[in-house]
Chain A
Amino acid sequence: MRHSFIDRYAGLDSPLHLLEARTKLLAFTGLIVGVLCVPAGQGSLFFVYFFATAILMGVSQVPLAYIVGRTLLILPFIVLAGLAVPWKGYLGLSVLFLRAILCLMLLILLTNTTRFVELLRGLRKLGCPQILVMNLSFLYRYVFVLTEETMRMKQARDCRRVSRARFREEIKLLSSMLGTLLIRSFERAERMHFAMLSRAYEGDLPVVSPRRFSFRDVAFLAGVGLFIYLTFLMG
């Protein structure tokens, strides 16, 4: 089975893809912070950011429909979160939405122009704690294994029942399936740990040196930095 949940288009080779992971991490973090700092009253600045994001999207060659689709997929969660924020009128709500959409688009763009592995390596090189990066990499590696295990379990269940059970039974079944999955994951984690120990793991793993910064990276970072600085001046 083939999956690519997160970095489906990361294999393209647009100018944005060719940049070093650290460059993109810094630039996109900068842009996101910039978006979050736009004052609520400055509607025009949001358009400046939209424009900048649109240019990046154009350069990246990642299909627009994909980015929009992904954004819409995650947006409902933002709406839910928005309900928890104190009510600040329709303006407040629309600003929240604008910010969320921009940040999501930037993040989707980041993960689809950088392979997940590169991203992790970049994080590590930027000083992110190893244990955190390692856990992220396990997440990326095992989300597929877990999905497949769940699907097999679901198939096994469907093979042994003819019709849907009553709601209560259904819930009971679901919870026991979740329990089984949890125990299996727990056992797998133990075996994995054995496998790590067997390969001389002692709690610290050096990283293979990544690509070096090139002139392109420096130029891109400088450009993005200047852009963010200008928006601060305007705001």
Chain B
Amino acid sequence: MTDYAVRITRLNYTYPDGTKALEGIDLDVRCGERIAVVGPSGAGKSTLLLHLNGILPGNGAVRVMGMSMEPSNLRQIRKQVGLLFQDPNDQLFCPTVFEDVAFGPLNLGVAQDEVPRRVEKALLDSGLDYPIRSRSSHHLSLGERRRVSLATVLAMEPAILGMDEPTSNLDPRNRRHLIEVISGLKATLIIATHDLELVLDVCPRTVLMDHGRTWADGETRSMLADSELMERHGLEVPLSLRSGARM
């Protein structure tokens, strides 16, 4: 088995309208690593995530758990890579929570009588109670919807989890709760976010993206504290690092 969960070399992607979204991305992620992908809006973070399981077909090599991105590998790759989308309304398309969480396992061919157990475990792991399964997604709060979205991915027991802005629009309590849930996950994490405090909490390594390229890749704390680098790419040094420097 390979040490690398994801190996990306010279990945390019241009949207059908001609917009260059990714230009020569190189990224290696080891199994069990937790990395953050930060950068201004439109940097290509979400586009990069969509390459992790072959949703978007870019030029260049993407290998996931040693498998190359070929049609014959897609099923295996999608089993290994879970993606959490930014808007839960995109992710939760079934009439009830149960069906949404069961959607992935059913597609993977998990046995019918095993499915409820998977759903229950995924909901518990996402910090939810099992009774939520019979509720309709449109009756849930945003915090609950985010966690149910996470459950829909966890139910597939992925080795790699890609998350797109997991904490955006959440109130402080829900945000804190979600960060705790994320911290407890065992999968390899790749988190695209603007929430730099989340990054400091969860990810020891950070990749900085801007204009479809990677500009920095290294230890989180020192990178986020580099005010010149941060400002050049439309970001700012997180408050916790700034006040620490002043004291």
Say whether A188 faces chain B, with CB atoms less than 8 Å apart: yes
- A144 vs B95: C-alpha distance when bound (angstroms): 11
Q: For the complex, what is the distance from the CA of A144 to the CA of B83, rounded to whole Å?
A: 24
- CB atoms of B94 and A141 under 8 A apart: yes
Quote the shortest CB–CB distance from A189 to chain B (angstroms): 9
Q: Does A137 lie within 8 Å of B53, measured CB to CB?
A: no
- The listed residue (B55, B112, B115) touching A197 by CB distance below 8 A is B55
Query: Are A192 and B90 in contact, with the CB atoms below 8 A?
Result: yes
CB-CB under 8 A from A195, the residues of chain B are 83, 85, 90-91, 93
CA A3 – CA B136 in complex, angstroms?
10
* B93 lies within 8 A of A138 (CB): yes
Stretch at the interface among B18-26, B103-111, B167-175, B197-205: B103-111
Judged by a CB distance under 8 angstroms, whether B139 is at the interface is yes
Name which residue of chain B comes closest to A120, CB basis: B95
Which residues of B are found within 8 Å of A137, using beta-carbon distances?
Answer: 94-95
Say whether A206 contacts B93, CB under 8 Å.
Answer: no
- Assess the B93–A141 pair: CB atoms within 8 A: yes
In the complex, what residues of B have CB within 8 A of residue A206's CB? 106, 112
Instruction: Report the interface size class on chain B.
Output: 35 or more
Contact: B96 with A208, CB < 8 Å? no
What is the CA–CA distance of A201 and B104 in the complex, to the nearest angstrom?
7
Q: Is B150 an interface residue (CB 8 A)?
A: no
Q: Does B194 contact A (CB under 8 A)?
A: no
> Does A140 lie at the interface of the complex (its beta carbon under 8 Å from any beta carbon of B)?
yes
The 8 A CB mask of A188-209 against B (1 = contact, 0 = none) is 1001101111111110011011
Q: Which residue of A lies closest to B92 (CB)?
A: A141
Interface membership of B50, Cβ < 8 A? yes
Let me know if A199 and B156 touch, CB within 8 A: yes
Which one of B74-82, B214-222, B229-237 is at the interface? B74-82
Does A116 belong to the interface (CB within 8 Å)?
yes
Contact assessment for B87 and A200 in the assembled complex, using a CB-CB cutoff below 8 Å: no
- Tell me the bound Cα distance from A120 to B78 in angstroms: 27
- Contact between A194 and B85 (Cβ–Cβ < 8 Å)? yes
Which residue of A is nearest B108, CB measured? A200
Among candidates B81, B85, B103, B136, residue contacting A191 with C-beta atoms closer than 8 Å: B85
Quick one: given A137-B94, A200-B156, are A194 and B112 in contact (CB under 8 Å)? no
| Cβ contacts under 8 Å, A140 to chain B | 95
Q: Are B103 and A199 in contact (CB under 8 A)?
A: yes
- Contact status A198-B90, CB under 8 Å: no
Residues A144 and B78 in contact in the complex (CB < 8 Å), given A138-B93, A208-B102: no
Q: Are B95 and A194 in contact (CB under 8 A)?
A: no
* A2 contacts across to B, CB distance below 8 A: 139
* Chain A residue, CB-CB nearest to B90: A191
Q: Is the CB of B138 within 8 A of A145?
A: yes
Q: How far is the CB of B59 from chain A (nearest CB, A)?
A: 19
CB within 8 Å of A: which B45-84 residues: 50, 53, 55, 75, 78-79, 81-83
* A205-B90 in contact (CB<8A): no
Q: What is the CA–CA distance of A41 and B136 in the complex, to the nearest angstrom?
A: 46
A117 at the interface (CB under 8 A from B): yes
Is the pair B93, A198 in contact by a Cβ cutoff of 8 Å?
no
Select from chain B the residue with minimum beta-carbon distance to A201.
B107
Q: Is the CB of A199 within 8 A of B112?
A: no
- With a cutoff of 8 Å between Cβ atoms, the chain A residues found around residue B81 in the complex are 198
B144 within 8 A of A: no
Known A195-B83, A199-B78, A208-B112; 5 more pairs at CB < 8 Å: A116-B95, A197-B55, A200-B79, A200-B156, A209-B112
30 contacts between A and B (CB under 8 A): A3-B138, A116-B95, A117-B95, A117-B96, A137-B94, A137-B95, A138-B93, A140-B95, A142-B93, A188-B89, A191-B87, A194-B83, A194-B90, A195-B90, A195-B93, A196-B103, A197-B53, A198-B53, A198-B83, A198-B85, A199-B103, A199-B107, A199-B152, A200-B75, A200-B78, A201-B103, A201-B107, A202-B75, A202-B107, A206-B112
